[in-house]
Structure 1
Amino acid sequence: MKENLLSAIKAHDFNAIRTICFGLSQEERLKLKVFFLDTPITQMYDLPKSWAKNVPNDRIVMAYAFMCLSDQREEILHFERKNNICPWYAKGVFYDFLSTAFYPELLALIQAPQGAYLKEELPQMYVENAKYISFEMLWVLYKMDLIPFNEKLFVENFYHKNVSYREEPFFIDLLLQYPEIATQILAAAPKYIYTYLYDTEYILAMYHILAKNNYFTNRDIVKQYLQALLNPWKKNILNAYCRWIEAINPTADEVIENQYILFSILSLGNTALINFAMKQLQKAANASTFDFQSFADNFTLCFAIPKIAKSQLIGLDILEKYYKKQAPTNTKYREQLAVLFTVPEVILQEKVAGLLTTYFAEEGLAEVVAPYRDYLKIPTPVSLPQEEESLNKEAYQDNISSSFEERFPLEVGKLQVPTTADALLFLLGDCLRERTAGTIDLFFEGLIQLQERLPANYTKELAPYLKKLMKSHYLDSVTTIIKGFLYCYSHQKPLEIPPYQYTYEESNALREKLDEAAFEAYLLWGRLYNHKTFMPFLFHKAQLTLKYLNEKEVLPFLSTPTHEPFYIEAEIFVDKLLQYEAVNKQPDLHDLIVACNRLLFRNVSAAAKAKAQKLKGTYAPAIQYYLGITDKIQPTEELLPLWTQITRIKHPDREFPEFETTSAKEIPSVVKPYYIGYGWTKWRDRDIFTFHNYDIGYDEKSEKGYWIEHYRNSFSPLYYNACGGSTPLSTEVNYLLSLNPHYPDAILCGYIANNACGAEEIRNMQLPLEAILRYDLRMRHSGWLYIGACLLYDKRPSRDLAYEYILQALTRGEDLHYVGRYLSDALAMHFSPINRFVEFLDRPTRDPKVKAFQRKVVALYLEEVKKQEKLPRYHKKLAAFGD
């Protein structure tokens, strides 16, 4: 008998389980109870590691079998405690079977004489833990008058528990057996279901099945669900209600009855809701009671909403039907209709043009259409006046001229080092707020220059800033380094990271031993250890500042910007070098390299060149080459980072064989311009599209060099053109770009998102793009990959900014073949959705350079896509554009 029962349990045969248990003698029943209580479930037979959807697991079936054997609650509790059957949330429920959807099995057990003991226990169970009982069980118990009806509990459990069973036949049978569930449960959903909803496809399938069975005889549910759409709920909740209403399928009369609710939905600006409302209104548009004027007034609010072209076409069809019956009298409506020309759909534009020329052809129509001429994808519906050339065109071109010196004369935008202690204090506040080179570097410079004139208690004036920073532990790299500097400056300590880093367990032990101030200091060192890898120059400069203050050194930093936002005038730079030579001191190499990166090296004055010829240090040949005094490249091992920087910045496109025999020959950008590869690669048994450099130690087995950061850490951060080191948060990109503004390609490649969507924080694509537009920086080589990635990114602001940058580059006459090739490859290789590039093609412009670039990308795409086994989605749109 034991073997038969175990076989029935393993087969999940509830009928067999009941038959076997109910047919046992008292002695056999007692023996099986002992067996179940003394033998762990795992030793009865091998439990499967997984099971199919909507099939009860073995522990639940085992619990049900013991319920059939028992005749009192204490035995079941003992069995479940022994086998750990109760789920973690059960809180005293004496069997977890009631949390499942298998109500027929419970009903069969309760109705049998052997399960009658449960009728006394179930009401108590409900009081103890009602929220964890499934709706199916609740409804059966309610119908047996064992528990009261609780609308909130029943509705929430219906939509939140055992959702995957909602389309199962046995559950549908329960609903059809009790039609009052439609009014008591389904119609009450908007009262309680508005925060979260999972697995909505199962519930939607249930609605469709019920609708086919004419379950929704009480049609009040339509109005209740429609009213729910006016609530400011989450998108997935509103979408679910829309789908449920569509399954219920309101009639034309019901739409007319609720037309004003649907009109209100048109004004919400939610694309999914507008699409839903238009489909419903289309059913009743021909009814005599349809309020056309209210519809027309609310429809105008949809004209500027993107991605609802089909709904806008439905609305225009409704307008046209009514205009055929009665011509419009409000001529101002044509101004609103003309806004639809901004929608890049030919059929829709043709419909708008037809309405305007047929019903609004009065005088002045050409002036109404004129502002939208750049959006038109159809022949101009009316004769438009010749547009005069923009007066701002020359000014725009001047603003995007080729060099900083041409755009901003050196007399404009000068930066001043603070001259008083109070000014220095105010500048510290700017440093923490702006985190730019124009504030931070001037603060360090000001400390050095004013150190003899600062009050004796100046550290006390800095104390409020430090106190606030010490209470904040999760700061970015720039702020953390400033915090470390202020702490060391106030406590007269060098900025040196302890060589040993504590483990997590050791940190917890220190927390107990150290006082609050000492533990905060310990945390500071731990965070500085990490953040110095993101901003090595800033950390180094903070160390130098403390060193100079300790040594009473007043020589200026070479890298301090002289002109906004972070540039350095050549003559001032040479004067500083001569100051170092006058006292026979060697400038810091890192400081010298950053200064050269920021230098305005074009259009150098004759005075600056004359002074540069007086330089005698080992760096003199490099500086003279950089300023155009000589063309001879004379790299030395000591100054190799300096030489590689200035040669690439001065001649971005040139190859330098002079470095092929040096130790830096393998570093990107040294010999050849900075180019990295991209494409699909196998990684951990899956395909992934990535940006990497195939020539820099890429090893598929060890995965070294796979991500850009991997090979960046293999060389010194002094090689800024290759951006050695780790990539900081995108919120710090302003300072990072100031370290190499003339050749920022490698910096920006570090901010390319790993995927075509979803990047945040470190790879927030928008913030670096805002910075390069704000500072008017130029892409030279693989930096264009970043621009291309932004143009195809899933965030609209990034796409808009990338379009603006490309527009400026085309106006400057730059060659965009490289970014065009990337765009075509990314589209053809199924990395980026084609519809994002179609958005770029649809942007309003008559600029022949933009049009030529668009055609070039499409042509490259059509050439590349021939190599692919499968055509990308929306391929026809690009093919049509190519034709």
Structure 2
Amino acid sequence: MNKELISALRTENWAEIRRIAFALPEQEKTQIKKQTQHKNWEELLESKRLSYENKYLITYLMMCVCNNVEELLSIEKQLDFTSIKSYHTRIKYPLFFLNSQHTQALMDFIHTPEGAYMIKGAQQVFELSPRSFSIEILLALYTEGIIPFNEEIFVKNLYDIEYYRKQETEAAEVLLEYPELATRVIPHTAKYIDYVISSGLEWQKVFTLLCKKNYFPDKSFVTSFIEVLLNPWKKNVLDMYCRWIEGLVPNEEELLPSQHTLFALLTLDKSSLINFAMKCIAQISTHPDFDFQAFADNFAFCFTVSKIAKSQLIGVEILEKYYQKQAPTNPDYREQLAVLFTVPDTQLQEKVASLLTTYFNHEGLPEVIAPYRDYLKGKAQNLLATLSPSENSENSENSHTSHSFRTPKTACAARTLTPENLLFLLGDCLREPAAHTIDVFLEGLITLQDDFSADWAKSLSPYIKQLTKRVDKEEIPTDAILLGVLRALIDKRPLALDPKCNYTWEELCKKRKKLSEKEFEAYTQDYYLGNAREVLPFLFRKGQMVIDSILLHCHLPLLSTPTHLPFYIEAEVLVDKLLQYEVQGVQPDIDDLIVACNRLLFTEVSAAAKEKARQLKGDYVKAIQYYLGLTDEIQLTDELLPLWAQITRLKHPDREFPEFAATSAKDILGVVKPFLIDYGWKENDGYKEFTFGYHTEWVGVSYTDLKNAFPYRYYNANGGCSPISTIFEYKLSLNPHYPDAMLCDYISTWVTGNEVREIRNMSVPLEVLLRYDIRVRHSGWLYIGTALLFEKRPSRDLAYECICQAITRGGDLTYLKTYLAQALAWNFLPITRFIEFLDRPNPPAVKDFGIAVVKQYLSIVKEDELPKNHKKLANFLIS
């Protein structure tokens, strides 16, 4: 190779490389191109290994000796360094130099007659592989008008700067050269960056450096950074955004518009997000527009979260400052504040004690504090020592256990909604897919249909983008249905599945090359929506009802919207709605009516509700009057058979109903008799497995494991499919008074070696049962009994709490005792785990329960098939 050219390469003299290479005879250029693959570039460039800079030099030389894009691409294929393993995927960089930072070298090249062909090359790469550009090259080509601006590409390529740059000051200097990034790129980060930027480059420092140079004319985009913290992303992604927000150093005026989002973060049970949010809240807490009441309401949600004592102290100090100006108006708030005594931080305890004795020292305060006295330390103990129980107060021993039986709080449905806070409620739906968020949001769409501004649909855009990303990644059925509703709302069309997209995933894979992007997008939307309808048919139907009401300008309320948290409905409200329907001559939807009855607080029916129920005239009148206690007569009809099957079982859980024996529902579990299924070992092709019931089968839908042949309207039999347990709370809300059947679908039959799905299935439903004090009556105890002896300790602890709760209520645990005794005797569940239960410091009633199980076990275990550790269990009665 030409010695002068070698010297130019070694000194990275781009101008000389161009001058010399352009002047070479065609024969010598051809020789360089032929030797590309076999040339010892390390020796030529005096380098032990080829660095990125070496590779850019080599590709630049090839650019100079080639005459067109096709020839250059052919040469680059021979180089083994054009395939780079990125953090996200394996990227093949076409025209490798476009990934460099040498903007001036590239621009000088394309402005020569010999290098002008690279303009076409850059445009082709931008069309086919836009992530191949470095941000510097991208900006230079855009400034020259060679490529158009694309928001997503510019945002993602900007953060790819980290793969080759370590110094924050250098990165900041690059960005300072392009002020347009501050207004057209960085503010849109939250739309596209939902993954960790993993490198030595700390963008928090980059942002801080830019702020010191007054780089950002407007930092209102901080609100979008804060909003993404509500997304169900991985912790490291959310923590990254927290650091970025801190790096942008927002002032209180820039944080204030996000105050309600920050308050929502306090409810997430994520310590790092709560700690971040509380710092920001403290910064804006003295602003005149600070919404103190909303803060106080949301602050209470993090009282039981661990490892946030400093943040809890900051929150209590904010309360104190406001109470100094305006005394609290809600005395019940002291019950929530008292929970903070469980936090072993003396400074926090002292502050809470001071707050309670100063602003909440009304009758009954000693009883509020009583359950927490054992936690008190130091000055807090001294401050509260002088308080004595009131004569007329409840016994403190019963105050804690009676808390669960108080009247449920009013749900959002009973409160006034506006289009603005309806959007905030939509955010809650994404964060917490539950009846008191999703169903109330859907009801709000009907109620406010005449109040939406002209650009309200535009304000839905960020939520639609977020839902689309989540559905593509996680296939959460509630998300898919919400997305379907919002798209139908914007398009002003009914919510339905397009029959044109009715083909399987396997068929799609074959047709993929023939589909346009628009056809493929339409298919995937309907594919996910169809799957969601399989597991949550009621929610899909409810979405259809909402869209139909809006299209018909109908303002009749939905029957099944909760009136009391978390998912209950007051009887009088339901009757009032039915009367509204009758006045307008509208037949209630059977799905809506059944779920409304499932959620009804039917044991707390007022005289007014009963009187109004007597005025009903629809074909459902006999069923409603029976449910509310006005008659004992059961009058079955084919049309209302699912409704009758539900309300009879809910009203009398333990009774048999021979009335159904001659109907089409006679073979559906839970209709004639209570829901009681078989269990035991079963031989299957020489393989022995422990099974629960034989009414279920395995299906391959991505977010459902089990389904049965029963119609979905028979909720007491858990008809249809079971969704992933992460949305169990919503599934439970469809039949909270009789959850036994749906619990059985989450039982793991593996004693050990359970995977993530089974571990989640054996814990999430338990958490919901405990949170809302849900009662189990029949075969639901199979789930709790299995969880008590499950391989993971958290599940065992949760099941233990459920059993203790039931014993405290005086519940009948005969069925559970029998199951545990048989499961141990039949060698399904490990005896060691039951011994762990017996060794707990149990109250007398729980000890008696354990002894009863051991006695029953000993009466049925076979001497010739004694399970492992039998002697240890048998000896328990002796000890």
User: Which whole-Å CA distance do the structure 2 matches of 1:811 and 1:703 have between them?
Assistant: 37
**1:490: how far off?**
2.0
Give 1:460 deviation, angstroms.
Answer: 1.0
Matched, 1:655 2:664: no
Q: In the TM superposition, what are the counterparts of 1:29-428 in structure 2 within 5 Å? A: 392-399=396-403, 407-409=405-407, 415-417=413-415, 419-428=417-426
2:624 paired residue number: 623
Distance 2:530 2:876 in 1: 54
Q: Which amino acid aligns with 1:486?
A: L
- Aligned 8 A contact 1:667 1:715 in 2: yes
1:730 paired with 2:725, answer: yes
Query: Does 2:475 align with 1:475?
Result: yes
Q: Give 1:828's match in structure 2, choosing from 813, 821, 825.
A: 825
Query: CA offsets per residue over residues 611-653 of structure 1, 9 Å max, x none?
Result: 0000000000000010011111111111000001001000000
Indicate if the aligned counterparts of 1:619 and 1:639 stay in contact, CA closer than 8 A.
Answer: yes
Partners of 1:751 and 1:690 lie apart in 2 by 12
For the pair 1:789 / 2:786, whether they are aligned, the reply is: yes
- SS of 1:840's equivalent? helix
1:413 Cα deviation from its structure 2 partner: 5.6
CA deviation map 1:777-834 (0-9, x unaligned): 0001001111101101001001001111111111111111111111111111111111
| Partner Cα separation in structure 2 for residue 541 and residue 703 of structure 1 | 27
Name the SS for the 2:671 alignment partner: coil
Q: In the aligned structure 2, how far is the partner of 1:727 from the partner of 1:692?
A: 15
8 Å contact from structure 1 (residues 753, 759) kept in 2: no
Distance 2:505 2:841 in 1: 57
| Deviation by residue 1:469-509 (Cα, 9 ceiling, x = unmatched) | 22341321111111122222222332222346334564246
Could you tell which deviates more after superposition, 581-590 or 527-536? 527-536
- 1:808 aligns with one of 792, 805, 813: 805
* Consecutive unaligned residues in structure 2, runs of 5 or more: 1-373, 375-393
SS in 2 for 1:469: helix
Query: Superposition pairs for residues 503-518 of structure 1, below 5 Å?
Result: 503-504=504-505, 506-508=507-509, 510-518=511-519
The one-letter code sitting in structure 2 at the alignment partner of 1:850 is V
* Aligned equivalent of 1:864, options 855, 860, 865: 860
Alpha carbons 2:712, 2:720 under 8 Å: kept: yes
- For 1:875 and 1:391, the matched residues in 2 are separated by 43
- Residue 576 of structure 1 aligns to which amino acid in structure 2? K
State whether residues 627 and 651 of structure 2, in contact with CA within 8 Å, keep that contact through their aligned partners in structure 1.
yes
Pairing 1:502–2:503 present: yes
Q: Aligned partners of 1:703 and 1:777: how far apart in 2?
A: 27
Q: Give a deviation string over 1:324-344, Cα, whole Å, max 9, x none.
A: xxxxxxxxxxxxxxxxxxxxx
Tell me, yes or no, if the aligned pair for 1:827 and 1:834 is still in contact at 8 Å: yes
CA distance in 2, matches of 1:855, 1:466: 56
1:745 partner amino acid: D
Q: Structure 1 residue 767: deviation in Å?
A: 0.3
Counterpart residue number, 2:745? 750
Q: Note if contact 1:477-1:531 (Cα within 8 Å) is conserved in structure 2.
A: yes
Equivalent residue letter for 1:519? F
Match in the other structure for 2:714: 719
Counterparts of 1:426-465 in structure 2, within 5 Å, are 426-465=424-463
- Structure-2 change in CA distance of 1:703 and 1:504 (3 Å): closer
Change (3 A) 1:759 1:653: farther
2:493 corresponds to: 493
CA offset at residue 518 of structure 1?
A: 3.9
Residue 613 of structure 2: aligned partner: 612
Q: Deviations over 1:60-92 (max 9, x none)?
A: xxxxxxxxxxxxxxxxxxxxxxxxxxxxxxxxx
* 2:878 pairs with 1:880: no
Q: Distance in 1 between matches of 2:508 and 2:664?
A: 41
Question: Counterpart of 2:447 in structure 1: which amino acid?
Answer: Q
SS in 1 for 2:768: helix
Q: Which residue number in structure 2 is paired with residue 599 of structure 1?
A: 600
**CA distance in structure 1 between the partners assigned to 2:475 and 2:705 by the alignment:** 24
Name the counterpart of 2:285. none
CA apart distance, 1:410 = 6.0
Q: 1:409, CA displacement in angstroms?
A: 2.9
SS in 2 for 1:578: helix
Letter matched to residue 490 of structure 2 = S
Paired amino acid for 1:561: P
Q: Which amino acid aligns with 2:777?
A: R
Give the Cα separation in 2 of the matches to 1:710 and 1:638.
30
Matched position secondary structure for 2:681 = strand
Deviation of the 1:703 alpha carbon: 11
Which one of 772, 791, 794 corresponds to residue 775 of structure 1?
772
Instruction: Look up the equivalent residue of 2:459 and give its one-letter code.
Output: E
Give the whole-Å Cα distance in 2 for the aligned partners of 1:610 and 1:453: 35
- 1:412 Cα deviation after fit: 5.3
Q: Does 1:853 align with 2:849?
A: yes
| SS of residue matched to 2:710 | coil
Mapped contact 2:475–2:528 kept (Cα < 8 A):
no
How far 1:521 moved relative to its partner? 2.3
RMSD: 2.3
Say if 1:850 and 1:754 are closer, same or farther in 2 by CA, change over 3 A.
same
- Which residue number in structure 2 is paired with residue 799 of structure 1? 796
1:673 to 1:514, Cα distance in 2 relative to 1, 3 A: same
Distance 2:716 2:504 in 1: 35
Distance 1:737 1:703 in 2: 21
Ranges in structure 1 where 5+ consecutive residues have no aligned partner = 1-370, 372-389, 401-406
**CA separation in 2, counterparts of 1:743 and 1:648?**
8
Classify 1:852/1:865 alpha carbon distance in 2 versus 1 (closer, same or farther; 3 Å).
same
Cα distance in 2 between the residues matched to 1:414 and 1:552: 23
**CA–CA separation in structure 2 for the residues paired with 1:510 and 1:680:** 45
Q: State the 1:453 CA deviation.
A: 1.1
Alignment deviations for residues 419-473 of structure 1 (CA, whole Å, 9 cap, x no partner): 2111111110000110000000011100001101111232111011112222341
CA 1:505–1:536 in 2, change beyond 3 Å: closer, same or farther?
Answer: closer
Letter aligned with residue 457 of structure 1: D
What amino acid maps onto 2:794 in structure 1? P
Structure 1 residues 820 and 548, CA, compared in 2 at 3 Å: closer, same or farther? Answer: same
Distance (Å, rounded) in 2 between the aligned partners of 1:881 and 1:553? 67
Q: Percent identity?
A: 53
Aligned to 1:623, what secondary structure does the other structure show? helix
